[in-house]
Amino acid sequence: MDDVLIIDDLTKSFGATPVLSGVTLTLKRGQILGLAGENGAGKSTLANLISGRLKADSGSIRLNGSCYVLPQEFSLIPTLTVCDNIFLGRERSRFGVLDTRAMCRRAKELFAELGCAIDPERMASTLSVAEKQMTEIAKSLLFDSNLLILDEPTTVLSRQETEKLFSLLRQLRDKGTAIIFVTHKLDEMLSLCDEVAVLRDGVLVSQNKTSGLTPYDVACKMVGRNLAQAFPEKTIVPEDAPVRFVVEHLSSADGLVKDVSFFIRRGEILGLAGLAGAGRTELAETICCLRKRKKKSGVIRIDGKVLTAQTPQKIFHSGISCLSEDRQGTALLTEQTVYENITLTSLLQKYSSWGIVSKKKQICSAQEYIKLFRIKCESPEVAVSGLSGGNQQKVALAKGLDTDPVVFLFDEPTRGVDVGARREIYDFIHELAAQGVSCLLISSDLQEIIGNCTRVLVMHNGTIRGEVSGNDISEENIILYAAGVK
């Protein structure tokens, strides 16, 4: 039988909210199907229905063989080693005893195939976001599945890591594995997939072969309208504009950030690029003391005043906000409600009087942010865990804005966000800059950096390797600095 997956008239609702309506599609052996759609279109719900994690209201799913789903959010257990996580539930034993040596050896082989070197004996809690993603991918490759579903696997991977992953996926396809590839990076989808299916508001609106399709074609199908250009007009800041944020000779206690110095002018969007492991996220975390990352030396100034705060809470209320790339780890409390997350950092300053928190004020403020960011949720009182990844990202943005920052650090702001919502986030960043906020845009997506910034810093091995600006901002120049060539 060539058909691995047959879906017929599939319907699913959560309460009174329809999520999927009459979805019908077929996937054959050795076929890679791209699944596109805006946040909340039903992509993750469809994956969970196929894998059996959810039950459909009506319709049928016929799966010929086994299925493995690599989720968008990480499912690693932080108190276990990388090796333990990869083999969890599929441990290897010899004479009734766990064969740790064999499992570590196989884990190293998987990482070698992916072109990265992660020690299998490291604790999962010590991994960066990119390393967590690679571990999840290695885990998925261990399963000999007839159908592999990957939900946003490349959001924090470098170009080289992505190309290595695609090479492995093509090898799996050639061996007969069927693959569903979910991503908002439409150029990647078209380069990898044989066909692209588009969901819009829970309805399958198209399924076409990729030959002849452009990213713009797919994006228009996703939103049901023609789209404006991908990026807003760049915010040009005069060279004599006042400097608002200064970092001088900053080093972190763990040695991952080394003697970093830079400045951001008032109203400027400064880009920060670099390959995975270069220290971009670690720099933001050192500035904000996130994940207990401590400063070893250096000075930070806001409007000329030295920042002395040493805890995230005090730093945020000194005028700095940070959107973390790790939604689950540091940005959001996913089991708490939307309004609780949005108002968490400003709880005592804005929403309490004499020690009593006003839930009414919290909900009222959250409703304004929901409208501003077009967050798709039934009410401010639903748990964040029930939202799509892109809508969770918008909640995290709202949380950062609620402290009224003068400096905003954006670490992978469009991770897992669809093409329409990406433009909304870019517009939001440019609006902040127009109001005088100094913005640092950290991204592994070079087009995102090039499209939004007039000045870009490039990190390599924990230091600022170089700076490009104006007409010199190009992928080639950034990569040369990022790879340590320049």
**pLDDT (tens digit per residue) in 106-148:** 999 988 888 888 999 999 998 887 888 889 888 888 877 899 9
Q: Is the pLDDT of residue 167 over 70?
A: yes
Token pair for 256: 């991952």
**Residue 195 pLDDT more than 90?**
yes
| pLDDT mean over 233-252 | 92
pLDDT tens, position by position, 303-350: 999 998 888 888 988 999 999 887 766 778 888 999 999 999 888 888
pLDDT score of 199 = 92
Which of helix, strand or coil describes residue 90? coil
Residue 386 burial (10 A CB sphere; 0-12, 13-18, 19+)? middle
Quickly name the fold that domain 243-482 has.
Rossmann fold (3.40.50)
List helix spans (H) across 3-122: 43-51, 82-86, 100-113
Nearby residues of 160 by Cβ (< 8 Å), 6 or more positions away: 115, 275
473-486 CB burial, b ≥16 within 10 A, e <16: beeeebbbbbeeee
pLDDT at 298 over 90: yes
Predicted local confidence at residue 229, as pLDDT: 67
CB-CB neighbours of 174 under 10 Å: 9
- Looking at residue 247, its pLDDT comes to 96
Tell me: the pLDDT tens digits for 31-40? 999 999 887 7
Q: Does domain 3-223 have CATH number 1.10.287.180?
A: no
Question: What are the residue boundaries of the structural domains of the chain, listed by start?
Answer: 3-223, 243-482
CB atoms inside a 10 Å sphere around CB 355 = 6
pTM for this model (two decimals): 0.67
- pLDDT at residue 464, rounded to an integer: 96
Is the pLDDT confidence value at 218 over 90? no
Q: pLDDT over 90 for what percent of the chain? A: 49
Give pLDDT tens digits for 432-476.
999 999 999 999 888 899 999 999 999 999 999 999 998 899 988
| pLDDT above 80 for 73 | no
pLDDT at 226: 58
DSSP string, 307-375: P---SHHHHHTTTEEEE-S-IIIII--TTSBHHHHHHSTTHHHHSEETTEE-HHHHHHHHHHHHHHHT-
Query: Please, which pLDDT band fits residue 227 given cuts at 50, 70 and 90?
Result: low
pLDDT at 228: 57
Q: Is there a shared CATH topology between the 3-223 domain and the 243-482 domain?
A: yes
